[in-house]
C-alpha cells in the first residue's frame, strides 16, 4: 500500500480553487465554441480544396491537449493551473498524416 500523506486544506484554499474552477469553466465553453468553428471551417475548406488546412489542424491538435489539461484541472486530477498561468502545452501526439473518409 502507498503511504497516504495527511494534508490540511483550508476553506480559503478551497474557495480560491473554486474561483479558478469557475474561470476555467468559462474558458472551457469558449474552447468548445472555437472547436465548433474549426470543425465547420475545416469541412468547408476540405470541400473547396479537397485537402485539409495544416496550420488549422496543428492548432486544433494543440487546443485538444490544452482542453485535456483544463478538464484535468476542473475535475481535480491536476494541481498546476493551465495556460495562461503556465505555458501552453505542446501537442500530446502528432496529427495523422492522411485522413481517410471511408
Residue 2 lies in a domain: no
Contact assessment for residue 83 and residue 66, using Cβ atoms and an 8 Å cutoff = yes
The answer to the question of residue 35 being in a domain is no
Does 77 reside within a domain? Answer: yes
Structural domains counted in the chain: 1
82 within some domain: yes
- Distance separating alpha carbons of residues 39 and 54, to the nearest angstrom: 13
CA–CA distance, 75 with 21 (Å, rounded to integer): 9
Range of the domain at 81: 59-95
pLDDT in tens, 59-102: 999 999 999 999 999 999 999 999 888 888 888 888 887 777 77
pLDDT of residue 8: 84
Q: Nearest 5 degrees, angle CA 11-CA 76-CA 65?
A: 140
Instruction: Identify whether 49 is part of a domain.
Output: no
pLDDT of residue 87: 85
Whether residue 78 lies inside any domain: the answer is yes
Residue 24, phi then psi, degrees to nearest 5: -70, -25
pLDDT of 5 above 80: no
Amino acid at each position: 500500500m502507498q503511504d497516504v500523506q495527511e494534508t490540511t486544506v483550508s476553506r480559503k484554499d478551497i474557495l480560491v480553487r473554486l474561483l479558478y474552477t469557475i474561470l476555467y469553466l468559462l474558458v472551457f465553453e469558449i474552447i468548445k465554441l472555437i472547436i465548433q468553428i474549426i470543425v465547420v471551417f475545416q469541412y468547408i475548406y476540405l470541400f473547396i480544396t479537397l485537402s485539409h488546412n495544416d496550420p488549422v489542424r496543428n492548432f486544433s491538435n494543440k487546443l485538444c491537449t490544452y482542453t485535456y489539461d483544463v478538464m484535468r484541472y476542473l475535475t481535480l486530477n491536476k494541481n498546476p493551473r493551465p495556460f495562461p498561468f503556465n505555458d501552453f502545452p505542446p501537442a500530446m501526439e502528432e496529427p495523422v498524416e492522411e485522413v481517410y473518409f471511408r
